[in-house]
Structure 1
Amino acid sequence: MTNTKNVILSAQDVVVEFDVRDRVLTAIRNISVDLYEGEVLAVVGESGSGKSVLTKTFTGMLESNGRIANGSIKYRGQELTELKSHSDWEKIRGGKIATIFQDPMTSLDPIQTIGFQITEVIVKHQGKTKAEAKKLAIDYMEKVGIPEAEKRFNEYPFQYSGGMRQRIVIAIALACKPDVLICDEPTTALDVTIQAQIIDLLKNLQKEYNFTTIFITHDLGVVASIADKVAVMYAGDIVEYGTVEEIFYDPKHPYTWSLLSSLPQLADEKGVLFSIPGTPPSLYTPIKGDAFAPRSRYAMKIDFEEDVPKFAVSETHWAKTWLLHPDAPKVEKPEVIQDLHQKISQKMSN
């Protein structure tokens, strides 16, 4: 089935480099990905795989030593790589593409009240008066589940718990009325119960406001409940892409197999989890072949010699692995992730 939805954000052949102590680190290596209107795209991978760097290019928030060295990024047809100044980016950042970060305290001003921080955004992005903005701010606070919102309007961030602060950051993002919402590991700093509440909140808000979402996480368990599509990142590249069902139940790349094998729900009786051997490659030197090959027990000679093209699995699913070549030996995915749905369901019911 061809996707009839509009492409809202499109990255093509994007390369991002950083100057680090007289050396060049290539953090993003020729990534191409489309984001469709109204969808939730989860970007998953280990720490350091380039997830946050990729999404920072969508809002012009790369560090000063970073640059987009190649490629095109279009938001609704507008070329974002041509935007240079802070004022150019202000038209996009927040109002069109907003970001919720991992640690709410980095997003909130500790010396301004919660109410002031939300109303300021509403006045700027929605053109409301201060009185209208206050009323709307309290509405947003209620919407994200802040109890006694009117009473807590004049409190400061330190008076809120971590989970409540993250709810306020979500309220501020909503107040921008974004077209695209980037959630950069928004639950990592929170305990498990609060994580589940924040995920449910984001799902409900996405349904209500119909914004398009990019959800960055290293936790594939979170992905199952929130995403439509999944992009699996490794060493600055997307190595597999598909619908959430395809990635969970018909994964093709050995790296995706490894990530799925590490799901907490698949721990053995002693609570021991699978861990991926080895370490990711250095991004200071060019990578030849499949970047994951040195850590993969499925690697073939060609994996160390030739860059892998995209092999189509279906209209919505592709992977960069030589295992999909017609001449490759037939390899089964690891036993631990076969019948994944059944295994996770069993664990849940125990």
Structure 2
Amino acid sequence: MTDKNKILEVRDLKVKFRVRDTELTAIRGIDLDLYEGEVLALVGESGSGKSVLTKTFTGMLEKNGYIPEGKIVYKGNELQNFTSHKQWLKYRGKELATIFQDPMTSLNPVRTIGSQITEVITKHRGESEGAAKKIAIDLMERVGIREPEKRFNDYPFEYSGGMRQRIVIAIALACRPNVLICDEPTTALDVTIQAQILRLLKDLQKEYEFTIIFITHDLGVVAQIADRIAVMYAGQIVETGTAEDIFYDPKHPYTWALLSSLPQLSDPEEDLYSIAGTPPSLYTTIEGDAFAPRSPYAMQIDYEVEPPMFQVSETHFAKTWLLDPRAPEATKPSVIHNLHDRLKEVHADDVIFREE
């Protein structure tokens, strides 16, 4: 990747929330680059800051949230400085669109499916009602809705969960955004429908040539769709690299723990691995490595000094003292040895799995 095709740049971003008489820090100094045409996966446990981070890209932070420091640069514009709804309207939907986790809460239950798609088209693209309906029906067909003309005037409750998620994708694509943020769009779906939605997103990306930010806590999903992966913990990115970097040669103990807990790798005769402890409270000041209290590899320095981001390769970086030349050698858990090959075996019949 080069600066030539970089479309979004985040530098030293911090996000805080005012809660009662105190403040909590949700994002703690994130640096991130997004490149044209890629699928970037943000992974980590619930509460790691994945959704909060991407909400800053579209101005959708809750009212008590704010950005005290840092930059978000998109096409030369510093989005963190936007203060009005009018400023965001130029970008939200048109440039950066979001698909949320639960399609039932994303759709208005008392309005027809067709009207919810056409509203976006008329509002953001200035099309007439007639033209908007034609575009909407075409989009419904593109996302796999059979007989879209007949289903145009149906209500959300008349659609299955998978079909509703397809409609939410159609609405997000109605403005032809450059960046599509997918906030755990398959979590509420069963495995079969999940695979269909992942395939749909990949196919639509090829057709419309947009960039995807895919938020998930499931590294099994990441293996099927991502080009690059950023692992988040306690409001920071602790490891980033290509999918091959993360699955073949992970370096951070937290990444090791996430990979070890993949249900696809579990032994039916043994308990599924789980990460001990809980993430740190956002109300407290974190000293050292935030993952240290939960890590069996933690050293004394992990409790005292925050590690820098070490460069492993041109594409691979990890924020752990284990990469310091003075650190003792640490061996990753045996369960994640040959991980990529093992996942390919698990997904042998799954056409979604990323091709080499």
1:219 corresponds to which residue? 218
User: SS where residue 312 of structure 2 aligns?
Assistant: strand
1:80 corresponds to which residue? 79
1:120 corresponds to which residue? 119
Could you list the per-position Cα deviations for residues 65-122 of structure 1 after superposition, in whole angstroms to 9, with x for gaps in the alignment? 1101110001111010111011111111111100000011222111111111111111
* 2:340 partner amino acid: H
1:138 corresponds to which residue? 137
2:153 corresponds to which residue? 154
d(CA) in 2 for partners of 1:227 and 1:239?
17
Q: What is the aligned length?
A: 349
1:201 corresponds to which residue? 200
1:174 corresponds to which residue? 173
Mapping of residues 94-109 of structure 1, within 5 Å: 94-109=93-108
| Identity within the alignment, % | 70
Mapping of residues 255-334 of structure 1, within 5 Å: 255-270=254-269, 272-334=271-333
Q: Which piece of structure 1 moves more, 126-135 or 36-45?
A: 126-135
Q: TM-score, normalised by structure 2?
A: 0.96
Cα distance change of structure 1 residues 4 and 62 upon mapping to structure 2, 3 Å threshold? closer
2:54 corresponds to which residue? 55
Calculate the aligned-residue CA RMSD, in Å. Answer: 1.3
How many Å apart are 1:5 and its aligned residue?
Answer: 4.5
User: SS where residue 48 of structure 1 aligns?
Assistant: coil
1:33 corresponds to which residue? 32
**Are 1:7 and 1:76, in contact at CA under 8 Å, matched by a contact in 2?**
no
2:353 corresponds to which residue? none
Could you list the per-position Cα deviations for residues 294-319 of structure 1 after superposition, in whole angstroms to 9, with x for gaps in the alignment? 00000001100111101000111100
d(CA) in 2 for partners of 1:26 and 1:13?
13
Pair 1:248 & 2:223 matched: no
* 1:315 partner amino acid: E
d(CA) in 1 for partners of 2:45 and 2:153?
39
Cα distance change of structure 1 residues 4 and 17 upon mapping to structure 2, 3 Å threshold? closer
Structure 1 spans left out of the alignment, 5+ residues: none
How many Å apart are 1:273 and its aligned residue?
Answer: 1.3
Structure 2 spans left out of the alignment, 5+ residues: 350-356
How many Å apart are 1:270 and its aligned residue?
Answer: 2.2
How many Å apart are 1:271 and its aligned residue?
Answer: 5.8
d(CA) in 1 for partners of 2:159 and 2:348?
34
User: SS where residue 58 of structure 1 aligns?
Assistant: helix
Q: TM-score, normalised by structure 1?
A: 0.97
Could you list the per-position Cα deviations for residues 211-232 of structure 1 after superposition, in whole angstroms to 9, with x for gaps in the alignment? 0110000000011111111000
User: SS where residue 200 of structure 2 aligns?
Assistant: helix
Cα distance change of structure 1 residues 161 and 13 upon mapping to structure 2, 3 Å threshold? same
